[in-house]
Amino acid sequence: MEVAPEARPPVVRLMDYGKFKYEQSVKAREARKKQTRTVVKEVQFRPKIGASDFEVKRKRVVRFLQENDKVKVTMRFRGREVTHPEIGNDILNRLRDSVADYGEIETAARLEGRQMTMVLAPVRSSERPNEDIEDADIDDAVDGDADK
């Protein structure tokens, strides 16, 4: 005697939980590979900075922007320097203009207490010129300033 197909009990398939967890971890790993972390580097300036020191710090900012890091530029005022924030603003504007090919302003310069801050974000790599800034150039400029 044969049982009709409607009368058979349904087949219950059990899920392999270990295989499921493994597939979830593989998907999570792939998602982590594709995401990037935002790193904020800081470069500090002073109002009485010399031309060669400015150039060293400018190269450092360009290098950070080429590595796709955001750069927080801080102008520190000491003593009575804070009574002339326009000097600091001029230096930050000069920096902004000199690194315009590599970074754009994310947060404009504003005075907060005794320091003025500005945040630069890197431009897309397709729009950026390719300039090699080596660590040796920066070290040579620093060593040259120490002789003065």
What CA–CA distance (Å, rounded) separates 75 from 130? Answer: 28
Inside any domain, residue 48: yes
- Please write the tens of the pLDDT for every residue from 107-119: 999 999 999 999 9
What's the CATH code of the domain at 96? Answer: 3.30.110.10
Instruction: Look at residue 136 in the predicted model and tell me its pLDDT.
Output: 46
Q: Strands 70-76 and 115-122: what pairing?
A: antiparallel
Inside any domain, residue 147: no
Inside any domain, residue 21: no
Inside any domain, residue 2: no
Inside any domain, residue 85: yes
| Choice among 65-79, 111-125, 128-142 with the minimum mean pLDDT | 128-142
Inside any domain, residue 148: no
Q: Residue 35's pLDDT band (boundaries 50, 70, 90)?
A: confident
pTM for the predicted model, two decimal places: 0.64
- In the chain, the number of structural domains is 1
Range of the domain at 134: 40-141
Instruction: Look at residue 148 in the predicted model and tell me its pLDDT.
Output: 42
Inside any domain, residue 5: no
Torsion over CA: 112, 60, 39, 94 (sign): positive
Inside any domain, residue 95: yes
Mean pLDDT score across all residues of the chain: 84
Strand partners, 75: 45, 116
- Please write the tens of the pLDDT for every residue from 69-117: 999 999 999 999 999 999 999 999 999 999 999 999 999 999 999 999 9
The tokens for 42 are 């800081």
